[in-house]
Amino acid sequence: MKRMRNFVLPLAALLLALLFLPQAAHAQVENCPTEPSLTSIADGEVFTGSNCVLNAIGDIDSFTFSANAGDTYQIALAMTGAADSNVCMELYGPGNTVIYPQTCTSSSFGQDVSVVVDQALTVTGTYQLNVTESSNTTQGYALSLERLFPFPPNATQITTFGQAYNGDIAEPTQSNAFIFSGVTTGTYEVTAAMTGTATSNVCMTVYAPNGSLVAPSSGTNPGCTASSFGQDASVVIDFTPTTAGTYMEFIQASGNASTQTYSLEVSCLVGNCGQTKTPPCTLKDAASYASGTLTMNFTVGNIAAVTWNAWLTSQNTITALSGFPISQPITNPPVPITKTVTVAPSGTVGVLTTLTYPTKGIVCSTYTQVNTGTP
């Protein structure tokens, strides 16, 4: 356990201040540095702009990201601006092994102006993306990285069924993720529809809690709208969950090289689909003390990735518990998690614990007291 510090503020005021600590937001759209070289790219980030340019056939723009074994990421690379040269992408894993061989766009055929791969990773470590071009000229590009499984922490929660949510693919290669809770007693209808000026068709996939795809969508062009045919300005997926848990609706522009506004909706088609408003999290603590050990039997549940914090208060001091904060992945349904810490007898002590979202702050908190005996 970290060394305790004394504070001048009264304990109650300090606890209140901790409950409103600001949280950092995830990165979204960034311009490249002047010459990208081992530039870090974050989950949910898009690199595009005036500096995202290849200048010669030997020019290599490189990007890195850290991932865990079992993760699946979607990597998308697209040409931007005038099509003067095809752009190519290659992925290296830890140990500089080629995970995804060099693959290029083929714009000369009037299609394939992007390269997109859903890549399952088997090794924990640092991965490197190399972006190059096939001709000795100048070519702009956009590059994005989005984790598909486990579901990304920047996913938007759909808490109310039957309510329309507006979305925007604002940059080439950008994607949007939405999560919602599903139960086996209902059939759900998931819909995405184009809005505004039609610049690109919208494509939608729905993922089950284990990361697999649910049943295919309906329409002339399954998975995508087909506005160029004068019909199918929406795409629909109806499915009955085979397991209860968190599902993800994933939206991107057709070809990953354009932009488009859209609306989406998750509705209960038939049966019992559970609560229309899903609690964002569950957080409980049953604490006990014996022989110098404080045991905390937590119950933790969250429908989106959160940061889990915990502090110990004793007398007039407060300290973060050893091992906290913790990046807690989606945990639905809630599960029991036991933590222990050595605490000398010091009368009644308290444990404050919170779950926080990156952009919304605290969504669950609880405060528990336990008597540790006479000091």
Rounded to the nearest 5 degrees, what angle is found at the Cα of 52, between the Cα atoms of 31 and 48? 50
Query: Which residues, other chains included, contact 305 with Cβ-Cβ below 8 Å and sequence gap of 6+?
Result: 150, 151, 152, 153, 327, 328, 329, 330
* 5-23+279-371 against 27-150: fold identical: no
Domain spans of the chain? 5-23+279-371, 27-150, 160-277
User: What separation in angstroms does the CA of 235 have from each of 253, 259, 286?
Assistant: 12, 17, 47
> Residue 363: its pLDDT value, please?
86
Domain 160-277 -> CATH class: mainly beta
pTM for the model stands at 0.69
**Contact status, residue 269 vs residue 239, Cβ threshold 8 Å:** no
Q: Which residues partner with 57 through β-bridges?
A: none
Q: What is the pLDDT along the chain (375 residues), one digit of tens a residue?
A: 222 223 333 343 334 333 333 332 333 899 999 999 999 999 999 999 999 999 999 999 999 999 999 999 999 999 999 889 999 999 999 999 999 999 999 876 456 789 999 999 999 999 999 999 999 999 999 999 999 999 998 888 887 888 888 889 999 999 999 999 999 999 999 999 998 888 889 999 999 999 999 966 554 456 888 866 445 688 899 999 999 999 999 999 988 989 999 999 999 999 999 864 556 688 999 999 999 999 999 999 887 788 999 999 998 899 999 999 999 988 877 899 999 999 999 899 999 999 998 766 888 999 999 999 988
Bridge pairing between strands 61-67 and 326-328: unpaired
Q: What is the CATH number of domain 5-23+279-371?
A: 2.60.40.2550
> Residue 10: its pLDDT value, please?
39
Look at the domain 27-150 and name its fold. Answer: Jelly Rolls (2.60.120)
Report residue 362 as tokens. 């605290």
